[in-house]
Chains A and B, each alone.
Chain A
Amino acid sequence: MDFDGARGSREVVELRLQIENLESRLATLKTQLAVAEKKDILTKSQDDFVAKPSIKPGTEDSHGALDFTNLKRGTLTEASHSRWPLQNEEYTRYGRQMILPEVGLPGQLRLKDARVLIVGVGGLGCPAAAYLAGAGVGTLGLVDGDTVEISNLHRQIAHSTATVGMSKVDSAIKYLSSLNPLVRYERHPEHLAPSSAIDIFSRYDLVLDCTDRPSSRYLISDAAVLTGKPLVSASALKTEGQLVILNNPPRSPRDPAGGPCYRCVFPKPPPAESVLSCGEGGILGPVVGVMGVLQALEAIEILVAGPIVSDASNGTVEAEPARPTLLMFSANSQPQFRSVRLRSRRKDCAACSSAATISRRSLTSGLLDYQTFCGTVAPVDMLPAESRISAAEFSNLPSDSRGVLIDTRDETQYGICALPGSINVPWTGDAKSWAAKASSLEDVARAHGPAHVVCRLGNDSQLAVKAFQEHTERFEAKDIRGGLRAWREQADPEWPDY
């Protein structure tokens, strides 16, 4: 054993120990130097193309840019006083990932030095934040204007029954702080707005898009391009998910070697009426969870790898245009994961090309309206009053005046709860074929009195009543205003609120 062999001379042992200590101190200093040098190069190359942020000194909140500078200085001073670059607890806490050659001490120091912004603290943002906090990312900023609802909890793992009603940002920080108190958490308990996006993004190194609607995806992508930040973007709905790393490397908008942005891949937003939220389309917890975990993985890989010193900066080799992959996950397909190669930057991209029309000014001044760009869906209100009946009135009708009751929700929702005697004719989106199908049903054709139509929220049922009126002989059809939600509020408080 080593101990026995070394027992011979106490002096030899002591000298060896001293050498070992000095060597490890030297190794640490070399690592710190390498990290500092690379950071220097990155800062310089970013300064080359990122215009100075238009923040006036002294106007920041407590998490402003001034704070950031002090923090960095503080970390360095602290490290130089200690024998080791990390605190003892950090070696223990992060040891399992630090012993991976892909991470090592340099990788851990880069994570500690990193500032990551997570936009959206829901199904994607919760697992992403948890793994990034666990991994020891130095600063995590969280943006979300919503409060925790009980219907979030099946997938939004940082929130809990006890934090229902609390702001999602505060609820997540409560969870994350108990997971890892060594991380600095920054609160942005608001919806990301074009006017503030540039200011907020400027304070971070990397951004995660964990939101759930097209308008925020375009805004986040534009702001990431304008501030020169790589963007890890994911989305999930029903049983499917998508993951893509955009604007990486984050070159200046005129440089075709930079990674494409969201607009390069999806230049046209989907028609507003086709966009489903998780509340409308449904979402399986592990599906969105897997996508959020993958976002954390990609973020860690980018941060640990450190800044890429491109050949182009040496003036020798022209950098190849970056073409990222889009990873698609589909729980019900075989294989579940597919990955396709995307395009390089679009020559006429509105955000990241030399023909770009989107500027910091167009965001901060509010000239760009993302809601208008993506379209909005006005609540359906298409029927005259005589074709509608309130849920309360309907519940008070004697049973022989109720006529026939048609429920236009899909079979799955109808299977969760249905009104007694109702007939399920799922709305198809096509008025003529739906009306033909509904009126051909024996129970509908035979029924005396009006057809009452109900759905979940009272939109499809109006379309269905109109379809009846326009495409069938049956003119007497009435919409139950506000659907089954109104039924619950006005007639039956025990009705399932799914």
Chain B
Amino acid sequence: MSIPKPPPDHCTILYFAAATSYTKKQYDHLPTPFHVSRLPDVLEERYPGIKSKVLVSCAITVNLDYVDLEEEADKDNDGLLVTAGDEVAVIPPL
């Protein structure tokens, strides 16, 4: 299955492995912008429990580049912003 382009002002979230099982989806289109460090909270609203059951151990990439959410959170407002058209991947260890 190929992933369609997101609507305007949305990004694509790709789910892999346990994240696919938990969301029962391969992808989501979410409204932007938001700070990448907020990703766990954004997903928790849609999928209660995902933070502690899946996201805690995941690697996150934005546009194919690894992002450390804790490091980004420490930067406050200077942290990486997810904007329209970005592709975020949620990668649990297999």
Contacts and interface: CB of A to CB of B under 8 A. Distances in A.
Interface of A: 214, 217, 235-238, 240-242, 265-266, 268-271, 274, 323, 326, 328, 330, 332-334, 338-343, 346
Contact of B64 (A265, A340, A343): A340
Given A271-B52, A274-B18, A341 B66 contact: yes
A326 B67 CA distance: 13
Contacts of A274: 18, 53-54
B28 to A, nearest CB: 15
A339 B18 CA distance: 18
Contacts of A241: 94
A494 B61 CA distance: 49
Given A237-B17, A240-B16, A340-B64, A268 B94 contact: no
A340 B62 CA distance: 9
B42 interface: no
Given A271-B52, A271-B57, A333-B1, A242 B18 contact: no
B26 A342 contact: no
Contacts of A333: 1, 26
A268 B68 CA distance: 12
A269 B57 contact: yes
A118 to B, nearest CB: 18
22 contacts: A240-B94, A242-B93, A266-B59, A268-B56, A268-B57, A270-B18, A270-B56, A270-B57, A270-B93, A271-B57, A274-B18, A332-B1, A333-B26, A334-B2, A339-B64, A340-B64, A340-B65, A341-B61, A342-B59, A342-B66, A343-B66, A346-B68
A326 B59 contact: yes
A240 B17 contact: yes
Contacts of B3: 334
A341 B64 contact: yes
A341 B64 CA distance: 6
A277 to B, nearest CB: 12
Closest 4 CB pairs of A and B: A235-B94, A334-B2, A270-B57, A343-B66
A190 to B, nearest CB: 25
A343 B68 contact: yes
B36 interface: no
A271 B57 CA distance: 8
Nearest to B67: A343
A40 B92 CA distance: 40
Nearest to A347: B71
B82 interface: no
A340 B65 CA distance: 6
B90 to A, nearest CB: 11
Contacts of A341: 61, 64-66
Q: Which of A339, A342, A343 has its CB near the most chain B CB atoms (within 10 A)?
A: A343
B94 A266 contact: no
B30 interface: no
Given A271-B56, A340-B64, A237 B94 contact: yes
B69 to A, nearest CB: 11
A122 to B, nearest CB: 14
